[in-house]
C-alpha cells in the first residue's frame, strides 16, 4: 500500500513510542497523520473508538497506546494493566475490522515471553510460564497480538505486530512508580549528584541482564514493517505466531547500565543494590534474526546513545528543579 494521501491514525501519540513514530512519519510528505488525546477519544470505550474510525475514514493504524510502567507498577497494579491494555487493543483492532481498515501495526512487549528463557524467539510464545511480576501486562499484550493474527488469517486483513525489547529515549516517564529502569536510574543518579549524596540505591541485585533499543530505532522498525510487502511479511511470520521481534542484539546487566549512567552524569558516590526488591526475569535477549533478514537493523549504538541520553536528561531534570 502506497502511503500518499493516506489517513494514518497513531493511537498513543503522546507516549514515548507514539511520539517517535509520529515524528518519523511527519518527515514524509502527503501523509495525513490523525491523533486524539484521551479527553477527545477514550480508547477504553468501544463505541467511541468505532465511531471515530468510521468518521475519519482511517487507512492505517499504529497502536502504540498502552498503560505502561516499570517493575513496581507492573507488579502492584496488575488488574489495571490487564484490563486497560486488553480493552485498548481489543477495541481498536475489532473496530478496525468492522470498518474495513486493512492495515494495522500493533506494538507489543518482550514481557509476553516465558520467564527464564535466554534467547527469545517468536515461536516461544505461550510455551512456558510468564514472569509473575508483570503477568497482567503480558496477557493483555498477548490478547492484542493474537487478535491481529486471527483476523489476518481468517479474513482479508493485514494486521501486523512487532515485539520490541526494552526501550529508552525522549519522552519517557520519570516518576518512581511508573518509570522504566533507565529513566529511573538517570533520575536517581542526577538527583544524587545535585544533592551531594554519598550513595544511590538501585532496586534488586543488579545481576539481571536486559536488552535496550533507542525509541527512534523502534520507530524506524515500525514503519519498515508497515511498508513491507504483505507476501514477505506473511512468509517470514506464518510459522512463528505472526509477529516480529525487534531488538538491539545484545544485553547488558543492570550493574553495567548503572555504571554507564553514573559516569555520564559524573556522580562520584557509591552504588548500593537493594536485594529486597524483585529482580524480575534474570535475562531477556530477543532473537531478531527474522526482521534483520528482511533488511532492518538498529542504527544507534547503545553505550554512546545511553551516555548522551543520560547527560541530556540530567540537564533537563536540573532545569526543571530550578523553575
**Angle between the 254-265 and 181-194 helix axes, to the nearest 10 degrees?**
40
Residue 73 main-chain phi, psi, to 5 deg:
-65, -45
Which pLDDT does position 176 carry in this prediction? 56
Rg (CA), the chain: 20
The architecture of the domain spanning 181-209+250-286+301-322 is: Alpha-Beta Complex (3.90)
The architecture of the domain spanning 6-168+212-246 is: 3-Layer(aba) Sandwich (3.40)
Neighbours of 176 (CB within 10 A): 12
Q: Are 183 and 261 within 8 A, CB to CB?
A: no
**What stretch(es) of the chain map to CATH 3.40.50.720?**
6-168+212-246
Q: Are 151 and 104 within 8 A, CB to CB?
A: no
| pLDDT category of residue 77 using cuts at 50, 70 and 90 | low
Q: Are 110 and 134 within 8 A, CB to CB?
A: no
| pLDDT category of residue 323 using cuts at 50, 70 and 90 | very low
Give all strands (DSSP E) within 70-181, no chain letters.
103-107, 158-164, 166-168
Q: How far apart are CA 231 and CA 313, in angstroms?
A: 42
Runs of H (alpha helix) within 99-168: 135-154
pLDDT digits over 163-200, tens only? 999 999 998 877 655 667 899 899 999 999 989 999 99
**What stretch(es) of the chain map to CATH 3.90.25.10?**
181-209+250-286+301-322
Going by C-beta distance under 8 Å and a sequence separation of 6 or more, which residues neighbour residue 120? Answer: 110, 113, 245, 284, 285, 286, 287
Runs of H (alpha helix) within 206-301: 215-227, 230-237, 254-265, 289-294
Q: Are 57 and 117 within 8 A, CB to CB?
A: no
| pTM over cut 0.75 | yes
Q: Are 148 and 161 within 8 A, CB to CB?
A: yes
| pLDDT category of residue 259 using cuts at 50, 70 and 90 | very high
Which pLDDT does position 178 carry in this prediction? 60
**Angle between the 135-154 and 78-98 helix axes, to the nearest 10 degrees?**
10
Write down the mean pLDDT value for the chain: 91
Is residue 322 over pLDDT 80? no
Grid coordinates of 13: 501519540
Given the residues 62, 106, 113, 137, the one annotated as active site: 137
pLDDT digits over 87-98, tens only? 999 999 999 999
Going by C-alpha positions, the residue among 126, 104, 140, 43 that lies closest to residue 226 is 104
Q: Are 80 and 139 within 8 A, CB to CB?
A: no
The alpha carbon dihedral of 112, 114, 118, 119 has a sign of negative
Which pLDDT does position 277 carry in this prediction? 86
Residue 167 main-chain phi, psi, to 5 deg:
-120, 160
Active site residue 242: no
Amino acid at each position: 500500500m502506497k502511503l500518499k494521501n493516506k489517513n494514518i491514525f497513531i493511537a498513543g501519540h503522546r507516549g514515548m513510542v507514539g511520539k517517535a513514530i509520529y515524528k518519523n512519519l511527519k518527515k514524509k510528505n502527503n501523509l495525513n497523520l490523525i491523533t486524539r488525546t484521551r479527553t477527545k477519544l477514550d480508547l477504553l470505550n468501544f463505541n467511541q473508538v468505532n465511531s471515530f474510525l468510521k468518521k475519519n475514514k482511517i487507512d492505517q493504524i499504529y497502536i502504540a497506546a498502552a498503560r505502561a510502567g516499570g517493575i513496581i507498577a507492573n507488579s502492584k497494579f496488575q488488574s489495571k494493566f490487564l484490563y486497560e491494555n486488553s480493552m485498548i487493543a481489543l477495541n481498536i483492532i475489532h473496530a478496525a475490522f468492522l470498518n474495513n481498515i486493512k492495515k494495522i501495526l500493533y506494538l507489543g512487549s518482550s514481557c509476553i515471553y516465558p520467564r527464564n528463557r535466554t534467547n527469545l524467539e517468536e515461536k516461544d510464545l505461550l510455551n512456558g510460564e510468564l514472569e509473575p511480576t508483570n503477568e497482567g501486562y503480558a496477557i493483555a499484550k498477548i490478547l492484542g497480538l493474537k487478535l491481529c493474527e486471527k483476523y489476518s488469517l481468517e479474513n482479508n486483513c493485514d494486521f501486523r505486530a512487532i515485539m520490541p525489547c526494552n526501550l529508552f529515549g525522549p519522552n519517557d516517564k520519570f516518576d518512581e512508580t511508573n518509570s522504566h529502569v533507565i529513566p529511573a536510574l538517570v533520575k536517581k543518579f542526577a538527583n544524587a549528584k545535585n544533592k551531594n549524596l554519598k550513595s544511590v540505591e538501585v532496586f534488586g541485585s543488579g545481576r539481571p541482564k536486559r536488552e535496550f533499543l533507542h525509541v527512534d530505532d523502534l520507530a524506524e522498525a515500525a514503519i519498515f514493517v508497515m511498508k513491507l510487502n504483505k507476501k514477505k511479511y506473511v512468509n517470514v511470520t506464518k510459522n512463528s505466531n505472526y509477529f516480529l521481534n525487534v531488538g538491539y542484539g545484545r544485553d547488558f546487566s543492570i550493574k553495567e547500565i548503572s555504571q554507564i549512567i553514573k559516569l555520564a552524569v559524573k556522580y562520584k558516590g557509591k552504588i548500593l543494590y537493594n536485594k529486597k526488591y524483585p529482580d524480575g526475569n534474570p535475562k531477556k535477549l530477543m532473537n531478531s534474526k527474522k526482521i534483520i533478514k528482511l533488511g532492518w537493523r538498529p542504527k544507534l549504538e547503545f553505550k554512546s546513545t545511553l551516555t548522551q541520553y543520560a547527560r541530556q536528561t540530567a540537564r533537563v531534570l536540573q532545569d526543571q528543579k530550578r523553575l
